[in-house]
Amino acid sequence: MSDSSSAATLTRPTAPVNRPRPNPLRAGIDSNRLQDPCNIIFFGASGDLMKRMLLPAMYNLRLEDMLPSDFGIVGFSRSSYTDEQFRAEMKKSIDEFSRSGPAKEPMWGDFEKRISYISGDFDDVACFRSLREHLENNDKVLGTKSNRLFYLSTPPSLFSPIINMIEQSGLGPRDNRDGWTRIIIEKPFGTDLDSARALQSEVEKVFNERQVYRIDHYLGKEPVQDIMALRFANVIFEPLWNRRYVDSIQITAAETVGVELRGGYYDSAGAMRDMIQNHVLNLMTLVAMEPPALSDFEAIRDEKFKVLTALRPIDRNRVFLDTARGQYDAGSIAGKPVAGYREEPDVAPDSNTDTYAAIKLYIDNWRWADVPFYLRSGKRLARKGSEIAVRFKSIPHRLFGELGDTIDNNVLVMKIQPEEGISLRFSAKVPGPKMHIRSVSMDFNYGTGFGVASPPAYERLIGDAMRGDATLFTRWDAVEAAWGAVMPVLERWQDVIDETFPNYAAGGQGPASAERLLAADGREWRKI
């Protein structure tokens, strides 16, 4: 360094810069990730999920510079659109649903050139051959290198026919020697154990397990991924994370929405199939699993699977004691009157379908043997809120507290949505001369903590599938075990008409039977 330059540096006064102080928690947050060039083919591209979630996710991945520089988006559906019409539809969906607001130039102009559309029947091999030619052409024009990610976002009845056509038209992985072929399959993966097995046998005729990405969008939510960080990147929780210190665990996925326009699907599904069998059980596996030895995705999925295999089978004779089901009646949400479930479009007027489901489960292993896990999910409840609450045991001996003080159990709550954070409830002394004890809470909020909004689950998951990372996708053995776990309940619920339906008012806490489920154990649900 020359003398003059160092003098200049020393003598020149620095203008005060009014920069916000950097948030140290943001250091290291990814901005760019490279992925292989590829085509992503959306089956069911004219549907609602594409408009609301999938295409906005692709667009935002592009905005965040997370997509490879060479990519193509191909929509495939029955509706007839030209490429231009389809692009115009997709632009509308971004304008309406994208988290980054309306589509912006010049980004949109570049993005839309990569979007194309094929109109065709899902069981017509000729349409799939056209798709194949189209993809081969994209490889030449867009440089997508024969890498293909298929995304099944059609009604589930079309999953098998599409997979079959992929194979027959030469689009399957065995015929693609020049690149990779993967498939994302939306939920539900089957409607019961038998149909899930039947679907799986079609899937495995064409794809091997490493090429299959069964999506559960809950696993893409940031706070869900943080469950593992909380448990395995800290030393203080894990020693308490077992039957010696944990009294019980409650997992809740509560919604205020009703079935909206999905009555046709939902009336043959219900809350146990729609939410508990997949999203809620997946949360449970993350809370209950043993620490994996490696952060490798198969090691993590192995541990999750072991939890499901250790679930105590539900005794058919105890189904009505260990579960609760509900169906919403008319009521009000946020002060507005809403209809009852049986009045919703495409719902049978005497429907026996559960819009609320709760279940008590035990995991028969050394860690959890006698700790009840209470799982619940419902529509049209008082508040939208998904959370996991770990309630610890009571103190063994009471030393403090004036007469009349209750010393509450410690509770650690992992808040998944809409709030995203962690809260720990513990006892503290109320200021003053007496030894009064009250519960207080210590809260961490992701948004304010890290100063960045969590990316929507679909962005994370589509990006992961493009990179070939299956950690956040469900392996077949886990899907099969989860169906196995809920089948006794589904069968008994189907056999016995619930004469009390509708049994909870929209906007409330759910059915009284759910309160009884916990009261029988001397416990209460956390307020929704």
Residues serving a catalytic function are 279
Whole-angstrom distance, CA of residue 336 vs CA of residue 423: 31
Q: How far is the CB of 41 from ligand BG6 (least distance, A)?
A: 22
Q: Which two tokens stand for residue 29?
A: 């947050």
Q: How far is the CB of 170 from ligand BG6 (least distance, A)?
A: 33
Whole-angstrom distance, CA of residue 251 vs CA of residue 386: 8
The binding site for ligand BG6 (CB under 6 A) comprises 187, 255, 274, 386
Comparing CB distances to ligand BG6, the nearer of 143 and 345 is 345
Whole-angstrom distance, CA of residue 144 vs CA of residue 39: 6
Comparing CB distances to ligand BG6, the nearer of 255 and 354 is 255
Q: Helices (H), strands (E): how many in the chain?
A: 18, 18
Which residue has the closest beta carbon to ligand BG6?
274
Comparing CB distances to ligand BG6, the nearer of 142 and 272 is 272
| Residue 437, H or E segment | strand 437-445
How many other CB atoms are found less than 10 A from the CB of residue 122? 22
Q: How far is the CB of 330 from ligand BG6 (least distance, A)?
A: 19
From the list 195, 256, 312, 231, the residue with the least C-alpha distance to 506 is: 256
Q: How far is the CB of 379 from ligand BG6 (least distance, A)?
A: 7
Comparing CB distances to ligand BG6, the nearer of 274 and 303 is 274
- Helix ranges (H only) for 351-436 are none
- Determine the angle formed by the axes of helices 83-97 and 55-63, rounding to 10 degrees: 80
From the list 255, 327, 331, 259, the residue with the least C-alpha distance to 505 is: 331
Nearest-10 Cα torsion for 154, 383, 100, 84? 30
Comparing CB distances to ligand BG6, the nearer of 246 and 416 is 416
Comparing CB distances to ligand BG6, the nearer of 255 and 303 is 255
- Sheet with 181-185, strands from edge to edge, namely 115-119, 71-77, 38-43, 148-152, 181-185, 212-214
Comparing CB distances to ligand BG6, the nearer of 46 and 277 is 277
DSSP-derived 3-state class of residue 436:
coil
Q: How far is the CB of 333 from ligand BG6 (least distance, A)?
A: 14
Q: How far is the CB of 255 from ligand BG6 (least distance, A)?
A: 5
Whose tokens are 């028969």? That residue is: 364
Q: How far is the CB of 274 from ligand BG6 (least distance, A)?
A: 5
> What is the Cα Rg of the chain in Å?
26
Instruction: Report the largest interatomic distance among the alpha carbons of the chain, rounded to a whole angstrom.
Output: 91
CB 310 within 8 A of CB 364: yes
Whole-angstrom distance, CA of residue 506 vs CA of residue 206: 45
CB 499 within 8 A of CB 327: no
